[in-house]
Structure 1
Amino acid sequence: RIAYESRVADLRAVLQLSRELGASTELMPLLQKVESAALTVLGCERATVFVYDDATNELYSSVATGVDEIRFGADQGIAGEAVRTGEVIHVPDAYADDRFNPDIDRKTGFRTRNMITIPLIGIDAKIVGVLQVLNKTSGQFDAWDHELVRTFGAQVGVALQRQLLLEHYAEKQRIEHDLSIARDIQQGLIPSRPAEIAGFEVAGWNKPADETGGDCYDYFERDDGSLAVTIADATGHGIGPALVIAECRALFRASVAMSRDLGEITARVNDLLCDDLPDDRFVTAFLGLLDPERGALSYLSAGHGPLFRYTRASDTIEELPANGFPLGIMPNADWPAPEDFVLAPGDLFVVVTDGFFECLNADRQQLGTQRLTDLIRALRDRPCRDIIAGMHDAVLNWVGDAPQDDDLTALVIRKT
């Protein structure tokens, strides 16, 4: 009779725990409830939940141990065997079992005598963790403890999976919110109105592959009436390159405000980026100055090319190479003299990032610069924005249903 009433009380305690776990909204309090309830219901000295991290194939816990987070491979020790087999494992003498790893005891000062280890399984039969109950206070774990820990573990597995899914969703929402803010900030760096400079028509456009991009364009008027125009392309795309590009834009703006010497400006930006960027990062960039009095364009291209120059008089297009190397690679470098030429009415100068000509079709073939050259020539009499739209349409038609895998940025200049 006493044993029966004790078991009923145990099951009621498990049922009460199930209700409490269903109301839990955070992982750490949930784990604390589980471990605290296990001490009472199972009559043990310690209980530990190890959560399974499927991204790293590790088990981790920090609640019961009282030390910094403990992590180990999900194929190690008794807990690892429970993950592998999906079976409850009873160890009556821990230190006599070769599978037992005493490292946690050494770290915590705890002495494990006996244990039951049970895999925690979600509603889709997926392993979400492991529960270990250690040192039965009345001696050894018995058959009833086995049944009770199975029932206990089934409730915990479902609750833990639910909580992990909730936290994953919340983290995803937070990341999406942060990316949305980053995207809004980055889009705020793009010029909000058309460039105004006598004798020229200028249009720019940007479409990142992700929420944020690693390309940008910019134009702004200097005090002397000239117009600075830039395009920059950081390696990769996403939030990291987006931060690099934001820095690059700020450096160009600050440097152009202090000097008209393109070599000096580029050298300053390059040296600062060399200080900030890791070894595997760099930026290709185009920096130009439009002079309305001369009707001229001066530019330096730091590893950014090819550039496309259409000449009305000869009705021809040239592909011009970069005349410098990428930024952020070599500090204290010598820069070549800028290119400088006068544009005649109808002449075009087109700068794009490599997402245009390196885009791939279903056969893994690139659009290439020749097709882009032919398209620019075909659209040479259209407004600058129409030329950009035509190039974008060409990319869309070329790649078909494939997702955009690189940022697209274009800058088109026409002498009017």
Structure 2
Amino acid sequence: MDQERRIKELLLLQRSAQKLNLILDLEVLLEEIANDVGETFGYLRTGILLKDNESNELEIAAVRGWTKNYHIKGDRFKIGEYGIIGQVAATKRTYYAPDVTIDPYYKVSEESTRSEVDIPLMINERLIGVFSIQHHETNAFDQARIHLLESLAANISIAIENARLFRSEKLERERISNELKDARNIQLHLFPQKSPELAGFNINGICLPCLEAGGDWFDYISLGDGRIGIVLADVSGKGMGAALLMSSTRSMLRLVADKESSPGIVLKLVNELLIKDFPTTKFVTIIYAILNPNNKTLVIANAGHLSPVLSDVSGTILLNTNSGLPLGISESIFGETEIKLSSGDKLLFYSDGVTEAMNKSEEEFGTERLIELVRMKSLTVNDVINKVKEYTAGHPQSDDITVVMIEAE
């Protein structure tokens, strides 16, 4: 009979352990432990108390079968000072009171309790709490049953630690996610909030970071005399690091552009600043142009960026802009290309997130598709984005996508 009981209890122990290890929500887990142990092993009162390391106290985290006459969930007890649980927490050893009415450590938690066993919950010799079980009969726990409960307590400790780690990782993921969302919102506010109003021209831009924040950006800079600076750039790398470098480069460019009228000189001066400040493995590809609506000229300087696509009466081509080195690598001189925009002409700046976007067959969108797209009449920057999304359907976005289009009316 004892052997049959032992086998039954071991099966119950296995079932309880398997069930507990599937629960990763700490609050749910603790309630499940208190209820499941009572129902499985027939105990009227069970409780889980967790250690608060800062206050060196035990706090009731889950209970079953206790009334509110003495203690409720959330009550705290000093380790080593209060009752059997305090003694167990202090010694880190199981304590059994076969008759609580004569036990020197016992403190009343229920009038009808007659025997109690308390087991420390340990992880690598570190106390994390106490597992308390009470019965209304004296001598209710034999040695075999106590050993069984100690085995269960070991499983409970692991389950609690796993749930805590899961909660900690979840909170950390949420913290990082919230910070990235904040960074994205800040970055989005650094982008132009509206298109510039420039007589004879329509200028529009859009940026879609592949992560919450990224290294692509575009900008419009009012330069006086009706002129406007137009920027599209891509900091190497992705995520928060690239976004921070983007913000820094944007500030430098705006500061220099306000004082210099030559796009090539602006890039040269910004480059000199970045060489001093940028990490050695980072760089920026950038195209910076100044549009003068009075004579409809556009002067372009290019630092390692992709050639823009020009569409005019003679056709649609990649415009050779005498590209220099990306910014932040070494000292360099940046040439300038000047074009005159006539009615109906359009010029498209874009990042490599457009041409290198891949479909599910891992084929790139490519330059030829982009040129064909720019040939379309009444093209908008949203059309470009939508065509890229359509092409890459089923394949996740792997890089920031940024487009700026300048169109002469």
Q: Specify the TM-score bucket, using the shorter chain as the normaliser.
A: 0.5 to 0.7
Out of 28, 33, 49, the residue aligned to residue 20 of structure 1 is: 49
- In structure 1, distance between residues paired with 2:57 and 2:213: 35
What is the CA-CA distance between 1:146 and the residue it aligns to? Answer: 7.9
Q: Which residue of 2 aligns with 1:360?
A: 358
Q: Output the CA distance in 1 between the equivalents of 2:86 and 2:397.
A: 48
Give the corresponding residue for 1:154. 155
Does 2:97 align with 1:41? Answer: no
Q: CA-to-partner distance for each residue in 1:60-104, whole Å, 9 max, x for gaps? A: xxxxxxxxxxxxxxxxxxxxxxxxxxxxxxxxxxxxxxxxxxxxx
TM-aligned CA deviation for residue 256 of structure 1: 0.6
Unaligned runs of 5+ in 2: 1-37, 39-44, 59-77, 80-84, 95-120, 128-143
Counterparts of 2:406 and 2:53, CA distance in 1: 56
Q: How does 1:241-320 map to 2 (within 5 A)?
A: 241-312=242-313, 314-320=314-320
User: Do the aligned residues in 2 keep the contact of 1:362 with 1:400 (CA within 8 Å)?
Assistant: yes
Going from structure 1 to structure 2, the CA distance change for 1:387 and 1:133 (only over 3 Å counts) comes to closer
Q: 1:35–1:231: structure 2 CA closer, same or farther, 3 Å change rule?
A: farther
Residue matched to 1:203:
204
What CA distance in whole angstroms lies between the structure 2 residues aligned with 1:190 and 1:394? Answer: 22
CA pair 371-162 structure 1, distance change in 2 beyond 3 A: same
State the 1:24 CA deviation. Answer: 6.3
The one-character-per-residue Cα deviations of 1:129-156 (angstroms, maximum 9, x if unpaired) are x51379xxxxxxxx99987864443232
Describe the superposition over 1:91-121 as per-residue Cα deviations: whole angstroms up to 9, x where unpaired. Answer: xxxxxxxxxxxxxxxxxxxxxxxxxxxx98x
Distance 1:387 1:196 in 2: 16
Higher mean displacement: 314-323 or 404-413:
314-323
In structure 2, the CA distance between the partners of 1:29 and 1:402, relative to structure 1 (3 Å rule), is: farther
Q: Distance in 1 between matches of 2:318 and 2:165?
A: 57
Letter in 1 for 2:188: Q
The 1:326–1:36 alpha-carbon spacing in structure 2 relative to 1, beyond 3 Å, is farther
Q: Relative to structure 1, is the Cα distance of residues 272 and 362 closer, same or farther in structure 2, using a 3 angstrom cutoff? A: same
The question of whether the paired residues in 2 share the 8 Å contact of 1:222 and 1:228 is answered with: yes
Pair 407,144 (structure 1): closer, same or farther in 2 beyond 3 Å? same
Task: Report if aligned partners of 1:195, 1:219 keep a CA contact under 8 Å in 2.
Answer: yes
Q: Root-mean-square deviation (CA), in Å? A: 3.6
Task: Tell me the distance in 2 between the aligned counterparts of 1:322 and 1:17.
Answer: 78
CA distance in 2, matches of 1:290, 1:17: 77
| Contact 2:316 2:371 survives alignment (8 Å) | no
Structure 2 match to 1:391: 384
Match of 1:50 in 2: none
Contact kept? 1:360, 1:367, Cα under 8 Å: yes
Q: Output one character per residue of 1:239-280: Cα deviation in whole Å (capped at 9) or x when no partner.
A: 111111111111111111111122221122112222222222
Please say if 1:405 is aligned against 2:401: no
What does residue range 57-76 of structure 1 map to in structure 2 within 5 Å? none
Q: What amino acid sits opposite 1:345 in the alignment?
A: S
- Cα separation, partners in 2 of 1:268 and 1:29, compared to 1, 3 Å: farther
Per-residue CA distance 1:371-407 (angstroms, 9 max, x = gap): 110110123xx1xxx4312211221121112221111
Q: 2-side partners of 1:272 and 1:144: how far apart?
A: 74
Structure 1 SS opposite 2:256: helix
Count of aligned positions: 305
| Structure 1 residues 147 and 241, CA gap change in structure 2 (3 angstroms) | same
Cα contact 1:194–1:202 (8 A) shared by 2: yes
Tell me which residue corresponds to 2:334: 336
Given the superposition, is the C-alpha separation of residues 322 and 356 from structure 1 closer, same or farther in structure 2, using an over 3 Å criterion? farther
Identity of aligned pairs, percent?
29
Residue matched to 2:348: 350
TM-score scaled by length of structure 2? 0.66
Structure-2 separation of matches of 1:193 and 1:336? 29
The structure-2 alpha-carbon separation of the partners of 1:232 and 1:146, relative to structure 1 and needing over 3 Å to count, comes to farther
Q: Which has the larger radius of gyration?
A: 2
Q: List per-residue Cα deviations over 1:328-382 (Å, max 9, x = no partner).
A: 111x33x133111222221111100011111111211111100110110123xx1
- Structure 1 alignment gaps of length 5 or more: 1-14, 44-118, 121-129, 135-142
Partners in 1 of 2:286 and 2:362 — Cα distance? 27
Q: Secondary structure at the match of 1:289?
A: strand
Closer, same or farther: CA 181–316 of 1 in aligned 2, 3 Å: closer
Determine the C-alpha separation between the residues in 2 that align with 1:37 and 1:174. Answer: 36
Q: 8 Å contact 1:195–1:220 — kept in the other structure?
A: no
